Amino acid sequence: MADYDVESYWSRVGREIAARQGSSLVAGDDNPFFRYKRKKFLKKFLHTINFDSKIILEVGCGPGGNLLEIGQHRSPEKLLGVDISQTMIEIATGNLARHNVAAELHKINGVTLPFADRSIDLSYTVTVLQHNTDGSMLQALIRELCRVTRETVVLMEDTGSEGLNGTGSFIARQVDVYKSIFFDQDFELVQCLYLNTKLSYFGYALVSDFFVSKKHQEGEPMGIVPRTLMAFMMPFSRVLDELLVEKKGLTKMVFNREA
């Protein structure tokens, strides 16, 4: 993708989300594969984090689905969210208000955070940093994350074999890339878990290659044929996902501030 601009890209995705019929809680594409992936993500990753009685910050809150999950199922002291897209902030504000979940939301420039040093107990991201392919911008944002966080930062990002810098709108970095940046900020990697959706992703990619237009953009609705094929494969592929463990893909990385 040429001339990738983070803010305009996610504002366009936000407009697609706002126009959806039904739920507008999840950023990006809405299809059987991503619904399965999110359900597994919530059970294995998000719901295993202790948010109770803590000041929580989500960097890249998107339409607010994760903040809503925490607000409805846990008892945080305070929920904070930031996003580079004003469109996403507006969607999240509406979603949270409709469900009576209180959260303080801020639009940011993607580099700096409007919070005091160590004023947040736990900060987290969900498939946000992987869309920042500018290495210097990523490092600056992680420094800010570490500056404002007192205890723990949890990254839930797609990982792979790539290095610090990339092109386009996505990069699957090595876990060690994140580990090194956090180490320089006195944070230690204490947990690394993989979601394991390899076979289901393969089926999703195969269907997309043959039945989804090459002009399809993230967030746009998908036709009934690819949705039906994905739904047919899911019951089989998700069983195999548990058998074919692969150390990449959506990864939960927990970093604690060193004593």
Segments making up each domain of the chain, as ranges: 6-196+247-257
| pTM to 2 decimal places | 0.90
User: Taking a C-beta distance cutoff of 8 angstroms, is the pair 120, 114 a contact?
Assistant: no
- pLDDT surpasses 50 at 10: yes
Answer yes or no: are the C-beta atoms of 56 and 70 closer than 8 Å.
yes
pLDDT at 216: 74
**Per-residue pLDDT averaged across 118-139, rounded?**
96
CB atoms within 10 A of CB 109: 12
User: Percent of the chain scored above 70 by pLDDT?
Assistant: 95
Instruction: For residue range 67-83, list pLDDT tens digits in order.
Output: 999 999 999 999 999 99
CA atoms within 13 A on the CB side of 45: 25
Q: Give the range among 42-46, 147-151, 185-189, 224-228 with minimum mean pLDDT.
A: 224-228
- Which pLDDT value is given to residue 1? 46
Q: Please determine, looking at this structure, whether the domain spanning 6-196+247-257 carries the CATH number 3.40.50.150.
A: yes
- Coil/strand/helix, residue 148: helix
The size of the chain, in residues, is 259
Lowest pLDDT segment from 7-21, 120-134, 163-177: 7-21
